[in-house]
RNA sequence: GGUCCCUUCGUCUAUCGGUUAGGACAUCAGAUUUUCAAUCUGGGGAGAGGGGUUCGACUCCCCUAGGGACUGCCA
C-alpha cells in the first residue's frame, strides 16, 4: 500500500549497461526496484544504457535479459534502448545551450587536465575558460565537447529516501561533459532525459551513483523538469569489505546460477542484504512485496556471506517442487559426464525429497542423488569390499529374503524391518549398516538406509545386493 | 588532494532516549548415529574511540579513527 506522500503511480527502472556480465549488485538494485513497483502497484521498466558504443555488445544485452528473466524479475513493456534516443538527448543539450546552462568547450584533453589541476589548486572543481568565452571564427568547425555550466555558488541538494538530505557544494561539482567530441552524449545527460521521458518517479540504484544524483539534479533543474525521488542503495562488498571480485567466489548472476542457487533463494537473500523486516529471515516473494519499503533500506554496505546464502537456498530447495529440482539436477549430472539411465528423471524425483534436506546447493543435491542413478552392477569401493566377508555375505543372503517379502516399503517401514532383522541375527545395526550402505551406493553419499532403499525401489535394491553377493573378491 | 556516504556479536540485521541490547547464519559443547548431512538441546559472542546534550544514551550533536564511493570525452 502506498504511503500518503508517495506519488502514484510509481514507476521504477533498472538501467544496466551491456558491457559484460550482470553484476550481483545490479541484480539487487533490480530486485529492489521490482519489489517497490510491485509493492505500490506501479510499473518496473528496463532500459539498456548502450550509449558507450565501444563497450556495448549484443551478447551483453542478452546476458541482461537472461539474468533478469532467470531471477524472475519481469519488467513491464519493451526494453528501452538508450542509444536510439540520441536525437532526444541532443535536443536536450541544445536546449541547455540556448538556456545558458551549457557551453561549447574547445579544450583538448591535455589542456583540460592542466585546467583541472589549476582549478583544484584554487579550491574548486574544473571550470573551463570557455564557459565565459564566445567561440570566435578560428574555432569554427573545430572539435569540441559540450559542458554543463555548473553554478559557482550554493549547494545542490539531493533528497534521498535512504540517506535523507545530501548536500553537494556546487563549487566542487565540475563542469561535466554532456556531449563528446563525436556528438554522442554522456551518461548523466542521457539518464536524466530518459528517466524524465519514461516517467520514472523513483530512481533506486547503487550508492556509487550518489554523486551523480547531484549532477542529475542540476540537469533536471536546468531543463525545468521535476526531480524524481532518489534512493541510493548501499554497496555489496566482498568478505574483506572491499569491492566484490572474482576471488570472492562469484560476482555475476550467471555465476550464482552455475553454483546451484535457486532464483527464489537469491531473491530472498539479496532482499535481506540491506533490507529487513524485523526478525523475518526466510520469506516468499508475496511477503517481500507486502513488506518492502525503500525507507527501510539500511545505509551501511553489506558483505556477501555464502554460509547464509547456503542456508537460505537449502530452505527454498526444501520447499521446491521435486520434479522441478530433478529437471535442474539432470543437466548438472550430464555436464559431469555421468552416464544416466533412461529413467533418470523418475529416479531423481524419488531420491530428491529424501536427500534435499542435506543439500545446500543444486550441485550438492546432484552429489547426494547420484547413488540412485548408478547402473548395475555397481563398482564397489575398497571399504565396502572389506566389509563383505563370508559372514556378511551369508547374512545378506538372508536379508535378501526378508526384503523380498517386506510389505512396508517406506523409509520408516524398512528402518523397522532392518532393526528386526538385526535383532534376529543377534547383532547391532552397526554390524550391517556400513556394508549394506556400500552395497547400495557403491561408496557414494546416500541417505539413511530406509530412505536409500525406498528411493531405489525393491527391484533395484535387491538387484544391487544380489550383484554384491555374486561379486568375486 | 577535494566532495560525499558509512560504522551494533565473525557475518546479515532488530532497537527508532529508559531492553538482562533481540533474531538469523557461522562457531563451540552435548544428544542422536549405518557414511555425509539433517535434526534437537545448550553455550560463548556486539554498540570504533573521545567529548558533549539529557535525570537517563547504541539511539541526538561535535571531533577523531577506520572503511567506501565519486572526482573519465565509462556507466
In the prediction, which pLDDT does A2 show? 42
Higher pLDDT, A413 or A216: A216
Of the given ranges (A75-89, A254-268, A313-327, A382-396), which has the lowest mean pLDDT?
A382-396
In the prediction, which pLDDT does A473 show? 52
A159 touches strand B (CB under 7 A): no
Q: How many CB atoms lie within 10 A of CB A458?
A: 14
For every residue of A187-248, DSSP letters joined together read: HHHHHHHHHHHTT--EEEEEGGGHHHHHHHHHHHHHHT-PPPEEEEEPPEE-TTSSB--GGG
> Given the C-alpha cell 561379486, which residue does it identify?
A471
Residues 204-233 of chain A in contact with strand B via CB under 7 angstroms: 207-212
In the prediction, which pLDDT does A168 show? 96
Render pLDDT for A319-362 as a digit per residue (tens, 0 to 9). Answer: 999 999 999 999 999 999 999 999 999 999 999 999 999 999 99
Round to a whole number and report the distance in Å from the CA of A102 to the C1' of B45: 57
Averaged pLDDT, A297-310: 95
Residues 320-359 of chain A in contact with strand B via CB under 7 angstroms: 357-359
Nearest to A237 by CA among A281, A141, A303: A303
A68 touches strand B (CB under 7 A): no
Which nucleotide's C1' atom has the smallest distance to the CA of A188?
Answer: B75
CA distances A276 to A92, A237, A272, A312, A357, Å, are 40, 18, 5, 14, 26
A455 touches strand B (CB under 7 A): no
- The rounded distance, in Å, linking the Cα atoms of A209 and A232 is 7
As for the ipTM of the complex, it is 0.95
- The rounded distance, in Å, linking the Cα atoms of A121 and A117 is 6
Which nucleotide's C1' atom has the smallest distance to the CA of A314?
Answer: B38
Query: Which grid cell sits at A438?
Result: 556400500
Q: How confident is the model at residue A3 (pLDDT cuts 50, 70, 90)?
A: very low
Q: Which residue is nearest to nucleotide B39 (CA to C1')?
A: A357
In the prediction, which pLDDT does A247 show? 79
Averaged pLDDT, A136-164: 95
Render pLDDT for A4-61 as a digit per residue (tens, 0 to 9). Answer: 454 569 999 999 999 999 999 999 999 999 999 999 999 999 999 999 999 999 999 9
In the prediction, which pLDDT does A326 show? 97
Q: What share of chain A is helix, strand, coil (3-state, %, to 5)?
A: 55, 10, 35
Residues 270-289 of chain A in contact with strand B via CB under 7 angstroms: 272-274, 276, 278-279, 281
Length of chain A: 473
Query: Which grid cell sits at A22?
Result: 550482470
Cβ atoms of residues A52 and A22 within 8 Å: no
Check whether A433 has a pLDDT greater than 70.
Answer: yes
Round to a whole number and report the distance in Å from the CA of A228 to the C1' of B3: 23
A73 touches strand B (CB under 7 A): no
Residues 94-133 of chain A in contact with strand B via CB under 7 angstroms: 107-109, 112, 116, 120, 125-126
Q: Which residue is nearest to nucleotide B68 (CA to C1')?
A: A242
- The rounded distance, in Å, linking the Cα atoms of A447 and A436 is 12
Render pLDDT for A166-209 as a digit per residue (tens, 0 to 9). Answer: 999 999 999 999 999 999 999 999 999 999 999 999 999 999 99
- The rounded distance, in Å, linking the Cα atoms of A290 and A36 is 9
Q: How confident is the model at residue A240 (pLDDT cuts 50, 70, 90)?
A: confident
Q: How confident is the model at residue A1 (pLDDT cuts 50, 70, 90)?
A: very low
Averaged pLDDT, A128-132: 95
> Given the C-alpha cell 563497450, which residue does it identify?
A55
Active site residues per annotation of A:
246
Check whether A226 has a pLDDT greater than 50.
Answer: yes
Listed as ranges, the nucleotides of chain B within 7 A of a protein C-beta are 1-8, 10-14, 22-26, 33-39, 67-75
A52 touches strand B (CB under 7 A): yes
In the prediction, which pLDDT does A425 show? 87
Round to a whole number and report the distance in Å from the CA of A37 to the C1' of B46: 35
Amino acid at each position: 500500500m502506498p504511503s500518503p506522500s508517495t506519488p502514484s503511480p510509481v514507476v521504477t527502472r533498472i538501467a544496466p549497461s551491456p558491457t559484460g556480465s550482470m553484476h550481483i549488485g545490479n541484480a539487487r538494485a533490480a530486485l529492489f526496484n521490482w519489489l517497490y513497483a510491485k509493492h505500490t502497484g506501479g510499473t518496473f521498466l528496463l532500459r539498456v544504457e548502450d550509449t558507450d558504443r565501444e563497450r556495448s555488445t549484443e551478447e551483453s544485452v542478452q546476458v541482461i535479459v537472461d539474468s533478469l528473466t532467470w531471477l524472475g524479475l519481469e519488467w513491464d513493456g519493451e526494453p528501452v534502448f538508450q542509444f536510439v534516443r540520441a536525437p532526444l538527448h541532443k535536443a536536450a543539450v541544445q536546449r541547455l545551450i540556448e538556456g545558458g546552462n551549457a557551453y561549447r568547450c574547445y579544450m583538448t584533453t591535455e589542456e583540460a587536465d592542466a585546467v583541472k589541476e589549476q582549478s583544484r589548486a584554487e579550491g574548486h572543481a574544473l571550470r573551463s575558460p570557455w564557459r565565459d568565452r564566445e567561440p570566435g571564427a578560428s574555432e569554427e568547425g573545430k572539435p569540441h565537447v559540450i559542458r554543463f555550466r555548473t553554478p559557482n555558488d550554493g549547494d545542490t541538494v539531493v533528497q534521498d529516501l535512504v540517506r535523507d538530505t545530501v548536500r553537494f557544494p556546487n563549487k566542487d561539482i565540475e563542469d561535466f561533459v554532456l556531449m563528446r567530441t563525436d556528438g554522442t552524449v554522456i551518461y548523466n545527460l542521457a539518464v536524466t532525459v530518459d528517466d524524465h521521458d519514461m516517467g520514472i518517479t523513483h530512481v533506486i540504484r547503487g550508492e556509487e551513483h550518489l554523486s551523480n544524483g547531484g549532477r542529475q539534479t542540476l540537469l533536471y533543474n536546468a531543463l525545468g523538469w521535476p526531480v524524481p525521488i532518489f534512493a541510493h542503495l548501499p554497496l555489496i562488498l566482498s568478505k574483506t569489505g572491499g569491492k566484490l571480485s572474482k576471488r570472492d567466489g562469484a560476482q555475476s548472476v550467471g555465476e550464482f546460477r552455475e553454483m546451484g542457487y535457486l532464483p527464489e533463494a537469491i531473491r530472498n537473500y539479496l532482499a535481506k542484504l540491506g533490507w529487513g523486516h524485523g526478525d523475518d529471515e526466510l520469506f516468499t516473494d508475496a511477503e517481500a512485496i507486502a513488506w518492502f519499503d525503500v525507507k527501510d533500506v539500511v545505509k551501511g554496505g553489506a558483505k556477501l556471506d555464502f554460509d547464509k546464502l547456503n542456508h537460505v537456498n537449502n530452505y527454498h530447495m526444501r520447499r521446491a517442487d521435486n520434479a522441478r529440482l530433478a529437471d535442474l539436477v539432470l543437466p548438472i549430472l550430464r555436464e559431469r559426464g555421468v552416464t544416466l539411465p533412461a529413467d533418470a528423471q523418475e529416479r531423481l524425483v524419488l531420491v530428491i525429497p529424501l536427500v534435499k534436506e542435506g543439500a545446500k546447493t543444486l550441485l550438492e543435491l546432484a552429489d547426494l542423488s547420484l547413488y540412485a542413478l548408478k547402473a548395475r552392477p555397481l563398482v564397489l569401493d575398497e571399504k565396502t569390499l572389506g566389509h563383505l566377508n563370508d559372514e556378511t555375505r551369508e547374512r545378506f543372503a538372508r536379508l535378501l529374503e526378508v526384503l523380498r517379502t517386506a510389505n512396508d516399503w517406506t523409509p520408516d517401514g524398512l528402518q523397522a524391518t532392518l532393526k528386526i532383522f538385526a535383532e534376529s541375527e543377534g547383532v547391532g545395526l552397526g554390524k550391517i549398516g556400513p556394508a549394506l550402505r556400500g552395497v547400495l551406493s557403491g561408496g557414494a553419499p546416500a541417505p539413511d538406509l530406509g530412505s536409500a532403499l525406498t528411493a531405489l525401489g525393491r527391484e533395484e535394491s535387491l538387484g544391487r545386493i544380489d550383484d554384491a553377493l555374486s561379486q568375486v573378491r
